[in-house]
Structures are given as C-alpha cells and as structure tokens.
Amino acid sequence: MATDAPPPSKGGTDPVTPSTEAYREVQESAEFGELRRAHRSFAFPLTIAFITWYLLYVLLSNYAGGFMGTKLFGNINVAFIFGIAQFVTTFLIAWWYSKHAAAQLDPKAEAIKSRLEGGA
C-alpha cells in the first residue's frame, strides 16, 4: 500500500514547505529580482560570447580551410589550436561561473531560501 505522505520527521529539523503565495511573494520581491539580474548579467553575455566564438570556429573550419590548415609547428595547425581553445574556454567559463555563483548568487539565494522556509 503506497501513500503520498512524506516520511516521518527525525527530530523536527525538516524545513517547512512554503505556500504557493509565499513563493509568489518571493518571486515578485526586489531581492529576487536582484538575484535574477545578477545571474542574467553574468550568464547571458558569456553565453553569447561563447556561442559566437564557437560559430567562428565552425565557420572558419568550413570556409577558411587554407587558414585553418596553416601549420604552426610540426603537425599542429591553426584548426587544432582553435579546437583545443574551445575546450579550454569551456572549462574557464565553468570555473569562472562557479566562482561568481559562490560569491554573488549563492549568498543571495540562501538568504531568500532561509526567509522563505522560516516564514512558512
């Protein structure tokens, strides 16, 4: 026999589930708007820059074969360097976002969460 009831609490430390109205109030708050702006002002420009960088690589690979095939040293050509740079860029953006989130987003989100769960 299955039930939809949550398991019993172990010591009363489980967070209280806020109401739908509480979520709506938070969503409309200036603090949540600031959190959303902080995320978007970081994520959107970087996303656009990375997609542009990626498309440049693809377009150069397709339409500038001579340039991309230029040997730099040994069997290493421009296309190979650009390809490796794609991976490096991906990891750098992930690292940078992690630092940004830890410093700017997580404290704001935690404050909102604490108030929301505390006031439910």
Domain range for 113 is: 28-118
Beta carbons within 8 Å of 68's beta carbon, 6+ residues apart = 60, 61, 77, 78, 79, 82
In a domain, 79, yes or no: yes
- H helices of the chain, in order, are 20-28, 30-63, 65-68, 78-100, 106-118
Residue 80 resides in a domain:
yes
CA atoms of 100 and 40, how far apart (whole Å): 12
Q: How far is CA 120 from the centre of its chain?
A: 28
7-56 residue pLDDT tens: 554 555 666 677 788 788 888 888 888 999 999 999 999 999 999 999 99
Residue 87 falls inside a structural domain: yes
The separation between CA 118 and the C-alpha centre of its own chain, rounded to angstroms, equals 27
Question: Cα(118)–Cα(40) distance, rounded to whole angstroms?
Answer: 27
Tell me if the pTM is above 0.85.
no
Euclidean distance between CA atoms 30 and 16, whole angstroms: 23
Q: Is residue 73 part of a domain?
A: yes
42 in a domain, yes or no?
Answer: yes
**Residue 5 forms part of a structural domain:** no
> Under a CB-based contact definition with an 8 Å cutoff, are residues 116 and 22 in contact?
yes
Look at residue 11 and tell me if it is in a domain: no
What is the number of domains present in the chain?
Answer: 1
Specify if 95 maps to a domain. yes
pLDDT in tens, 64-93: 999 999 999 999 999 999 999 999 999 999
CB 18 within 8 A of CB 117: yes
